[in-house]
Amino acid sequence: MIGVCKETEQNEKRVTITPEGVKKLTGEGQEIVVESGAGVDSSYSDEAYTEAGATIEPSREKILSECDILLAVQAPAVEDLKKMKPGSVLISFIWPLQNSDYVDVLKELNISGLAMDTIPRISRAQSMDALSSMSNIAGYKAALLGANQLDKYLPMMMTAAGTIPPAKVLVLGAGVAGLQAIATAKRLGAVVEAFDIRSAVKEQIESLGASFIEAEEDAGEDSETKGGYAKEQTESDKEKQQQLVHDHVAKSDIVITTALVPGRPAPKLIPKAMVDDMKAGSVIVDIAAEQGGNCELTKAGETVLHNGVSIMGPLNIPSMLAFHASKLYSKNQLSLLDLLLENGKPNFNFDDEIIVNATVTHNGELISPFVKENMQ
């Protein structure tokens, strides 16, 4: 039995699997039990799940205690884990590098924990890459949040009263979220610049119509990990990067920051002194707010006003687009289940690069080489 419970974390509106996903699984002979109201916040009704072949169950405790596999978006509370039976499987975001105590609980309870956030970024795993799916949404929404907060037009406007120049948008970090922020800001008519320590992304940035801010001597290939992430930088490197982007930040109407380092606090790209030089009315949208923020003045979950500059620290941005975020995440989980299940039951094939890295715990042991290598 595969169980789906309503998300309990504050401001979490996503659901782990959509009725469309349920229909696929029931068509393969799986029994799906969904907690009543699990999809309501993302506009998926109980009736839609019933029509897709799921059983609606009002008792959360019954689902937790009886399911063989529990699907979730956010890692369930420890109280929920304790209600699950030994040997059962949890598939969700777990963030094991930041939550070692949670990993210990999974081991103690003999729950096999598969983390959607430790799936390797390889071609074969693209359909399961929930991090990219959610980052894409975050980049799109960040551009809209910035546009909404700004008290100016984004596109150039030619009117009878005169011509209004386009707004200037700067995106720091050109991963999946950054590239989508660039594309969205361009579609809204802004003039867009972008900076990333990885010179390899220059072509991608320019293909979207943005200008790449380039150092005289870039960091080269050493600035990127095997997984395509930016490496953590030395203090000297950070200082050089801040000097490089300072003038660009000061001239921008909107700055969108997206820089993250797996398992580490977000790098500080914008110190207070840099914000002091920004124009009144300009906006910073800090996508990395949950990991400490890329701006020194960011406060998670708040919009701070400093010398007329709005510094936004939005939390759980994908949940703001819960309908499509759920749809994409559901497809990511279905792809992982296709790989994991054999004859309808979990088969932990640790010769498979995806399965071994996604499996944080199994049979009371820590499994994932990625987690072992990076856990502090």
Domain locations in the chain?
A: 2-115+321-366, 137-315
E strand or H helix at 309: strand 309-312
- Per-residue pLDDT for 376 more than 80? no
CB atoms within 10 A of CB 124: 11
261 confidence band (pLDDT: 50, 70, 90): confident
Q: What is the DSSP letter of 141?
A: H
Residue pLDDT, tens place only, 327-337: 999 999 999 99
Q: What is the pLDDT of residue 227?
A: 54
Phi (first) and psi of residue 23, to 5 degrees: -60, -40
Q: How far is Cα 193 from Cα 208, in angstroms, rounded to an integer?
A: 10
**How many residues can be counted in the chain?**
376
Active site residues: 121, 126, 129, 132, 229
Q: Do domains 2-115+321-366 and 137-315 have the same CATH topology?
A: yes
User: How do 365-366 and 359-362 pair as beta strands?
Assistant: antiparallel
Residue 28 has a CB neighbour count (10 Å cut-off) of 12
- What residues have CB less than 8 Å from 316, skipping those under 6 apart? 11, 12, 290
Phi and psi, residue 305, nearest 5°: -105, 120
Burial label, 15 (beta-carbon count in 10 A; 0-12, 13-18, 19+): buried
How many other CB atoms sit within 10 Å of the CB of residue 107? 18
**pLDDT band at 135, cuts 50/70/90?**
very high
Rounded average pLDDT over 200-229? 74
Choose the weakest-confidence range: 236-240, 313-317, 353-357, 371-375: 236-240
Higher-pLDDT residue of 231 and 34 is 34
Torsion angle, alpha carbons of 18, 9, 5, 344, to 10: 70
Q: What is the pLDDT of residues 284-318, one digit of tens each?
A: 999 999 999 999 999 999 999 999 999 999 999 99
SS3 label, residue 285: strand
Rounded CA-CA distance 212/202 in Å is: 6
Please tell me the predicted confidence (pLDDT) of residue 365: 97
pLDDT band at 72 (very low <50, low <70, confident <90, very high): very high
pLDDT, the chain, mean = 94
Q: Which CA distances in Å does 301 have to 43, 142, 233?
A: 24, 14, 26
Q: Tokens 């944080």, residue?
A: 360
pLDDT bracket for residue 189 (50, 70, 90)? very high
Q: Give the residue ranges of DSSP H helices in 58-129.
A: 60-66, 78-81, 100-108
Q: Smallest Cα–Cα separation from 31: which of 55, 58, 62, 50?
A: 55
pTM: 0.91
Regarding the domain with residue range 2-115+321-366, which homologous superfamily does it belong to in the CATH classification?
NAD(P)-binding Rossmann-like Domain (3.40.50.720)
* Distant-in-sequence, close-in-space partners of 283: CB < 8 Å, separation ≥ 6: 146, 149, 150, 253, 254, 255, 309, 310, 311, 312
The fold adopted by the segment(s) 137-315 is: Rossmann fold (3.40.50)
Residue 226, pLDDT > 60, answer: no
Q: Residue 157: is its pLDDT beyond 80?
A: yes
φ, ψ dihedrals at 267, nearest 5°? -70, 145
pLDDT band (50, 70, 90) for residue 225: low
Strands 309-312 and 283-286: parallel
